[in-house]
Structure 1
């Protein structure tokens, strides 16, 4: 039996979650991955390579044929969830620690990281709260698309105000996925350099507030999630050390256009040993 992953509870479709699904409509929050998709500068290129083309293998008996491929990717290409081993923190003397004070060097294996890697993930089923911060705050043209201002720090007051404007009830005892729309995903679809690490995102105050009202997973439509000013990953580090999962590169355009603010979030991470996260294609059911 799997153990809880950080604050993430073991998957269970509770009566309360069932009550959130009123019409059975499914919203796909995942993005299409391709060689020309925007990636954070620290990630390797994404490649799909034909391994065997139709007619090139004897392992299929004619008249049948087979096509097989090989994908080269990190676990942070397109929509994904970070594992708790993804971000560390340098201490005095140069030691790097992960969550729970684990020495990062002691987790290194030839096959990857042995601590809180992707193989520890379990299915994710949570209450979903969609925070359309772009609609609540208003946006500006940031290079051809209307988004929140570049590098804007979403505050706890912004989160509270958006929840109130959307008439969303705060339920601190219900494990919740808070999903934030900034508008930046439009640059991902346009495959432009404007989809980068200088997008708006929650500051540490906002992240702590969401955690205090039931947030066990938070995410957004940007490549770096948090307000990224100098790259210290302040919010990332706090989340990793406090067991809060993170989603990045969520496509929230359709669900926000439909005016949906609440539902059931479901994601099935890939259980791959040694990894620093997982590609996902999450859905919200309403």
Structure 2
């Protein structure tokens, strides 16, 4: 079944993937200042429509906990998640950091803490400044003109709106009758079409599409980070040309690792972010949705507004849709 069979011809001008050229950043159809790509399809009408269909009596939390020793992306030497106490009740009695005295510190049990982590830790989004081609990112912003000493001046998480949209989970593990897909299984168009047929769902422009590989059955074992089953470029193009506004998965990287591509070590990241204008969501916990057989839902997610960062934590939730 061809992509055109699903997508209204009038929508194609708004689907950035139709303007993409291989290994080139795409100019946004939403204007030279656009920093959010396909998220532009979210508007008052789309939010109102999906909220009207949501069943708030059931809420599914799609995020993972952050904790010391959690699996994460360590392939480029980035720091793991750390948390430490900056104040403890007993410590304040001894240290009196605010100069309040022993009586006050004995009465008031004060605790505080700090964290350190890579911005791509736990359930999080990837923004357009995370990957590009030849020093440029989506919509022709360049590292030369838009990257300072500390962060990018464009395309950071602070530009992302809260996402209220129809969500669709495609359960590729269930399609193959397994709890977890084999290591490095490549999810392409055929797998995705098989899920749509098996689950009797259709994709529409404006959807958030989440892919279940079953990897959360492994979490939090460190085996989670190695040889992930995930999307290949063929599968990513299929979803992008259906008008997905965000694409996520229950694995470390959304895409298959390692990639068979001899040069581009993250072909799905570069395609979706730089060519198709679609942000990613990684490490989404889909086990409860799968267990309840919920394929379509209201997706809500808002990322932390870390100005200019390449990623940010998100705590997405899902609510089933009423008949």
1:107-139 superposed Cα distances (whole Å, 9 cap, x missing partner): 322221212112222211111001111001223
Q: Which runs of 5+ in 2 are unaligned?
A: 1-32
Name the residue aligned to 2:38: 7
| Deviation at residue 199 of structure 1 after TM alignment | 1.0
| Deviation at residue 236 of structure 1 after TM alignment | 0.4
Matches within 5 A, 1:23-38: 24-38=57-71
2:220 maps to 1:181: no
Matches within 5 A, 1:121-270: 121-139=160-178, 146-172=179-205, 175-189=206-220, 192-230=221-259, 232-241=265-274, 242-270=276-304
Distance of 1:246 and 1:59 partners within structure 2: 47
2:319 maps to 1:285: yes
2:101 maps to 1:66: no
TM-score, normalised relative to structure 2: 0.78
Match of 1:100 among 124, 132, 139: 139
- Distance of aligned partners of 1:11 and 1:125 in 2 relative to their CA distance in 1, 3 Å threshold: farther
Residues 201 and 228, structure 1, Cα contact 8 Å, conserved in 2:
yes
Match of 1:85 among 129, 132, 147: 129
If each structure's helix is expressed as a fraction of its own residues, which one has the higher value?
A: 2
76-85 or 6-15: bigger deviation: 6-15
Matches within 5 A, 1:20-59: 20-22=53-55, 24-41=57-74, 42=76, 43-54=78-89, 55=92, 56-58=96-98
Residues 133 and 180, structure 1, Cα contact 8 Å, conserved in 2:
yes
1:16-43 superposed Cα distances (whole Å, 9 cap, x missing partner): 3134313631000000111110111233
| Deviation at residue 198 of structure 1 after TM alignment | 1.4
Over the residues paired in the alignment, what is the CA RMSD in angstroms?
A: 2.1
- Give runs of ≥4 in structure 1 deviating > 6 Å: none
Q: Which runs of 5+ in 1 are unaligned?
A: 140-145
If each structure's strand is expressed as a fraction of its own residues, which one has the higher value?
A: 1
| Deviation at residue 186 of structure 1 after TM alignment | 2.1
Name the residue aligned to 1:142: none
